[in-house]
Structure formats: C-alpha cells, structure tokens
Chains A and B, each alone.
Chain A
Amino acid sequence: MTKLLDIDDLHVTVDGKEILKGLSLAIDEGEIHAVMGPNGSGKSTLSYVLAGREGYEVTGGTIRFRGQDIFDLEPEERSHLGLFLAFQYPLEIPGVQTNTFLRTALNAHRRARGEKDLDGMAFLKLVRQKTKALGINDDMLKRAVNVGFSGGEKKRAEILQMALLEPRMAILDETDSGLDIDALKVVADGVNALRAPDRSALVITHYQRLLNYIVPDRVHILARGRIVRSGGKELAEELEAKGYQDMIEQAA
C-alpha cells in the first residue's frame, strides 16, 4: 500500500501561538481515518493547514500528498491534486449561483487536467445525476451559494461539491456538527459512494456518531496539538464510553 497523505512532525502556529506541536499521521490509499479530539485540540487547524488557508504558519515538519510536498502549493493547486476540504462552516456567497460556482470549479479541475470545459448542458446532466444519487433537491442549484441554506443544506451542498470533484482525499471537518440523522446519512452516503482502492478520507469529528455510518479503518485521538493514541474503529467506541478526559490522561 502507498501512502496517499503523509504528515510528519507538523508544527503550525496561528497568530504567534503554536497549535499543532509535532503531529504525525499517515493515510494509505483506500483507507478512511478518523481524527477525534476535544475542542481546542487543533482539529480545525489541521484541516485548514491541509487545504492551504492563509494565516496558518507551518514552522516545522512536512505534509506530503501523493508523494509531493504541498507546502508551497496554492489552495487551488491542492484542490487540483485531489484534496477536498468539506468545511465546518461553509461560506455564504451572495450573488453567485450554486450552479455557476459548481461549473466553474469543475471546469477549473478539468483544465488543470488538460481537458476541455464541460458545456452547460453536459454539466447539468452530470450535476443532476449527482444530486439524484445523493437525494439532494435540484432547487439548490439555482440559489446563491449557501445563502439562506439551513445547516443541513449547507452540508449537503458540500457533499455535492465533493461528489462532483471526485477528490482522492476528502477531509471532513466536523461535517457532522449540528446535523439531524437524515442529513448525517446524506453525508455518510456521499463519502461511502466515493470509496475506492485509490481514494481516502479523513473524518475529523468530536463525536463518534458519524463513525457509525462512515466506518473508519483507523481512529486517532488528537489532544494538545498531537496524536496521542491510534487504534482501530473500536477506539471510537471506547472514547464514547470513557470520554476524552480519561483517554487523554491515560495516553499521557
């Protein structure tokens, strides 16, 4: 098996404060990993630094994706390489129709691969196929990106974007927060539908609940900027039973 994502001894500083303090994590092709951690452990920092957001200063360590150091890559280049971050708080963009946004994004990926743009008709056919498969209402396409969407709709929209862009690695940043069971299933179905021998996912979450639907190969516990324990899916159950406090103290 080859490592799709390989994070080694990663140190990240935000506003002068070190948040990730030597985080190491490797995900093989075809695997789903979960990172669980309490609030303030560095979960969102991990997802943003992977996606290339400004303001997250890498002060040490490496991130290799598909064998390539992504440190110098722009967010769009990381996206073209196959990284996809499903946002915890998807942005509302008034005035940009979801349809336009999705088509622009998809065609940017196609161009990066040296393919021609999809025209409006071909795109519509593809996006309808995806919404149908995910059980998402088409009306969303005509509305401005995430504007006036409920929490559940926003997360569904993220999963639709993921389904269209077919990333090699999907990172779900607390995608389960605030979701009812139906929306949770849409998210899980979306991720499970993408499962393939060469695709992986990183599910970042506070709760074990989502992992009933997206069954991870490995579970890691993140605390104070480091992975303090790793194990199989049973680790999530243990965490649910004992709580973070006990597990972290045990690991320390």
Chain B
Amino acid sequence: MSDEDRSIRAFLGDRGERISGTEADALVDLRLAGVSAFTAQGLPHRKRERWKFTDLRRLLMRETYEAARPAPLPARHADRVSALPAPRLVFVNGVLDEAVSDLGQSGADIVRLEALLGGDHAALADRLGETVEADHPMIALNAAWMADGAIVRVPKGVDAGRLHLVSVMTGREPVMAHPRHMILLEVEARLELVETVLGDGAGHFENAVTEIQVSDGARLDHYRHIDAPDGHVALDHLRAHVGRDAVYHGFNLAIGAGVDRTEATVRLLGQGGEARLGGAYLGRGRQHHDNTVLVRHEAPNCLSRQVFKGVLDGRAHGVFQGKIHVDRVAQKTDGYQLNKAILLSPRAEIDAKPELEIYADDVKCSHGATAGQIDTDALFYLRARGIPEHAARGLLIHAFLAEALEEIAAADIRAQYQAAIDAWMAAGGFDEETEA
C-alpha cells in the first residue's frame, strides 16, 4: 500500500460509505465531495508546495486518531473558559457543550452546525462552503467528518459585541475533531470573535475550518490563541470574504501545541476593504508553528497588512508563507507584509516565504522578512546597567513582540496575550542549547 493510500485509510476509513448510507444528512453532497477530494490526494506532504515545510503526512501519521466522542469539559479548563465576560460557545472534542456554553445577551443569531446537518436552517446550510476551495485536502477531510460548529449570523447594522469561542480536545487516547464554523456579518454589522484553543491528555488532532463573510461596511475583529500541550496538532483553515468598506482584523497567538498550522486566506472583494492579519508564535522543544497567509486584492483601493513575529528556542520550527496577490483590477492597493523571527538556539529553524504577485500597475506593496538572533549590542547595554542576562533577554524579546501585539485593537485581549507571553518566557530558560 502506498503512503497516500495508508493516509486515506487512516483518516477516512469507511466514512464515504457511511455518510452516503446510514449516516446520510442534509449536507451529504458537500460531504461526498469532501470524501472524493481527499481520496484523490491523501494527506498533503512536503512535495506539495504549500505543505513543503509542514509535512502533514509525516506529522500526522505518527499517531492513530479515533473520531472524537463528546465529553464533558474537564475541570482544569473551567477557568479559561469563563475568563472572558462574554457570551461563549464551548466545544469539547468538536461538539458543543451546552452545559458550559452561555449565550447570554448576544446580539448575534447563533445556531449549531448540527442543526444544519439535521435539515434545519436551509438558507444558512446553502451558504456553507461558499468561501472554501473544493480541492483543498484538509478542508475536504473536514467536510467528510464535520459534526458540529458555530453558525453565527450578525444581522444588518447590529453590533453584536464579543463572542468567545472555545475549543477543548480531551481524552486519554488521541482523538480527532473537524469543527466547521461559519461567521456571517451582514451589511454594517460588527462582531468581536475571540477564540481559545485548548487541549489536554494525549496529543489530539483538530482540523478546523472557519468560513467568514464580512459584508459591505461590516467589521470583524478576530483573536485566536492556541494554547495546547506539546503533542497537540491544531490546523485551522480560515477563509474570509471581505466586502466593500468592510474590515477583517485578525490576530493569531500560537503558544504551545506540538504542531499548529493556521492557513488564512482573505479575499478583498469590494472597494475600500481592509484586511489586517497579525500574529505571534512562540516555540520551544520540537514545536512547529506555521502561518500560511494569502491576501487577495480583487477590488481597488483596499488595504492589507500582515505583521508576524516569532520567537523560537530549542529545536522549534517556524514557518511563514505570506502572499499578497493583487488582481489587475485592484488599482491603488496598499499592501504590507512583515515576518520577523528571533532564533534563541542554533537548532531552532524558520522557513519564511514572502511573496508578492501583482497584476495591477498602480499599487503600493512592500514586504520584509528577517531572522536572526538577539541583538548582542543591545544585550550588552542592558547588562552593563546591571540587568541580568536572562532578564535582559526577556526585555528584548518583549520589545521584539511588541510590534506585533500593537496590532491588537482590544486592550484587554492585548494585556491577556502579553501575560501569556510573559508566562511563556518565565517558564523557560532561553537556553542557547540544552539538547544534544
């Protein structure tokens, strides 16, 4: 059996027969398309350009994942779940835990994907899949398995405030879940979506797809914090359509997790649209953080910014693949992209692939990528003032990440993320090399 076949069998099994037979539901067509797209490709691996640095076949074939079963929220995560005073949806092993979710006074209309699968909300079900590409193997795998997710609609002109979306993977055996969320902001609607990705126990595998549509004049602020243990594999496929004068503003903080890959594709489809994607990734041990970002300018006068900062210690591996695509019609595009990484150890590694693809002639686009060590002159300066080396390094890392954190508009989220970063720094020595 080939590696492709093995990966198809391991991750799909008899899913195809079951969803067309006894387990058929309202989204059977979408699911079957997923089954066939995944079967055609198997798990993506390093010979495919987009997965060159994140070889899912190698990373995911180390474990055997069972399909996750619903479980109660483990007590140890209760504090994290209730940390934000906001309406919240808590998914445990990919399924909504109604007991700990609390929608309170959310101005958004929220239903479960499960209800769509059962045949309710046909108008919403029709929109599922609008933003995703049909041939993406991991999105296809998600379609084959998706069981639950948040379907959030913010009506025209409504500011729905904040919504906290929590995902927890738990259990002693490695399990996988494929949540599918859809966030629809109607004209001039607003929402602040805060995601927290947690895990415990064995290394689990979460393969999420988040479909976002930000209609004309609407604004979505989207913060995501991955704080999972070492063996955890977190893939997120975010696809956003941004309309005229609409804003998508996202920030991704990746701390922990064995492997995470956040693929974000944002299409600017109307004049005056804006996409800001920021992120910070911190890795040590053998952790792997991948930010694969594509912003497509498909209308004139749009603005996009990508600002990512990484700190990698031990044998951690960072990946940044950032692309700005500017269509022929997208005149007056203002595009900016930056990825900077600090390598704290000689065995840490960053692969950065910044790309500009421009077909319009009147645009302003720039990008930059740097990787290096801590500035030894600055370090000496701080130490010469009596600041011990460890603290001086901490101060410089703090300062390095500040540029990315400034992209966060919400002050309380920024403070929370800063605290998480400080805890990460306090938890580990910035060892030049500890592992042989």
Residue-wise, chain A 74-102 has the 8 Å CB interface mask toward B (1 for contact) of: 11101110000101001101111000110
Q: Which of B399-424 contact A (CB under 8 A)?
A: 399-403
The answer to whether residues A165 and B385 also contact, given A93-B396, A94-B399 and a CB cut-off of 8 A, is: yes
B359 interface residue (CB < 8 Å to A): no
Contact B377 A91 (CB under 8 A): yes
Which of A54, A75, A93, A105 has most B Cβ within 10 Å? Answer: A75
Closest to A109 in B: B386
Contact, CB under 8 Å: B383 / A74? yes
Contact B398 A96 (CB under 8 A): yes
Least CB distance, A162 to chain B, in whole angstroms: 10
> Which single member of B376, B377, B380, B395 contacts A96 (CB below 8 Å)?
B395
A152 contacts B by Cβ under 8 Å? no
B396 touching A96, Cβ below 8 Å: yes
Give the residues in chain B near A165, CB-CB below 8 Å: 385-386
Interchain CA distance A108-B382 in the complex, whole Å:
11
A93 and B399 contact, Cβ closer than 8 Å, known pairs A54-B376, A54-B380? yes
Q: Is the CB of A108 within 8 A of B384?
A: no
Question: With the chains together, A161 CA to B386 CA distance in Å?
Answer: 11
Number of interface residues of B (CB under 8 A): 23
List the B residue with the shortest CB-CB distance to A146.
B381
User: Chain A residues near B400 (CB, 8 Å)?
Assistant: 95
With A76-B389, A95-B402 already in contact, the answer to whether A104 and B395 are too (CB < 8 A) is yes
Of residues 348 to 404 in B, which have CB atoms within 8 Å of A's CB atoms? 376-378, 380-389, 391-392, 395-396, 398-403
Q: Does A124 contact B (CB under 8 A)?
A: no
CB atoms of A75 and B395 under 8 A apart: no
Question: Given A90-B381, A91-B378, A93-B378, are A101 and B386 neighbors across the interface (CB < 8 Å)?
Answer: no
A53 within 8 A of B: yes
B378 touches A80 (CB 8 A): no
With A95-B402, A96-B395, A101-B395 already in contact, the answer to whether A108 and B387 are too (CB < 8 A) is yes
Q: Tell me the complex Cα distance, A228–B380, Å.
A: 31
Residues of A close to B385: CB separation below 8 A: 79, 101, 105, 108, 161, 165
* Nearest chain B CB to A88 CB, angstrom units: 12
Chain A residues within an 8 Å CB radius of B381:
87, 90-91, 93
Choose among B380, B381, B386 the residue with the greatest number of A CB atoms under 10 Å from its CB: B386
Q: Which residues of A contact B402 (CB under 8 A)?
A: 95
Query: How many Å lie between the Cα of A54 and that of B375 in the bound state?
Result: 13
User: In the bound complex, do residue B403 and residue A101 qualify as a contact, i.e. CB atoms below 8 Å apart?
Assistant: no
Task: Tell me if A52 is interfacial: C-beta within 8 Å of chain B.
Answer: yes
Chain A residues, CB < 8 A from B383? 52, 74-76, 79
**Contact across chains for A101 and B384 when beta carbons are under 8 A apart:** no
Nearest chain A CB to B291 CB, angstrom units: 21
Residues in chain A near residue B386, CB distance under 8 A: 76, 79-80, 105, 108-109, 112, 165
CA separation between A55 and B395, bound complex, in Å? Answer: 23
* Contact between chains at B399 and A96 (CB < 8 Å): yes
Q: How far is the CA of A105 from the CA of B385 in the complex (A)?
A: 6
- CB-based nearest B residue for A161: B385
Cα distance A165–B383 in the bound complex, in angstroms: 13
Partner of B382, one of A53, A78, A101: A101
Which residues of the other chain, B, contact A109 by a CB distance below 8 angstroms? 386
| Mask: chain A, 49-67; 1 = CB below 8 Å from B; 0 = not | 0011110000000000000
Residues from chain A with a CB closer than 8 A to the CB of B396 are 93, 96
Which residues of chain B have C-beta atoms less than 8 A from A93's C-beta?
Answer: 378, 381-382, 396, 399
* B391 / chain A contacts, CB cutoff of 8 Å: 104, 108
Interface centre among A80, A90, A105, A144 (most CB of B within 10 A): A105
CA distance A79 to B388 in the complex (A): 10
Closest to B381 in A: A91
Q: CA of A224 to CA of B398 in the docked complex: distance in angstroms?
A: 42
The residues of B with any CB-CB pair to A shorter than 8 Å are 376-378, 380-389, 391-392, 395-396, 398-403
A-B contact pairs, 20 of them (CB 8 A): A51-B380, A52-B383, A53-B380, A53-B384, A54-B380, A75-B380, A75-B384, A76-B387, A76-B388, A79-B386, A80-B386, A91-B378, A91-B381, A93-B381, A93-B382, A94-B399, A94-B403, A95-B400, A95-B402, A108-B391
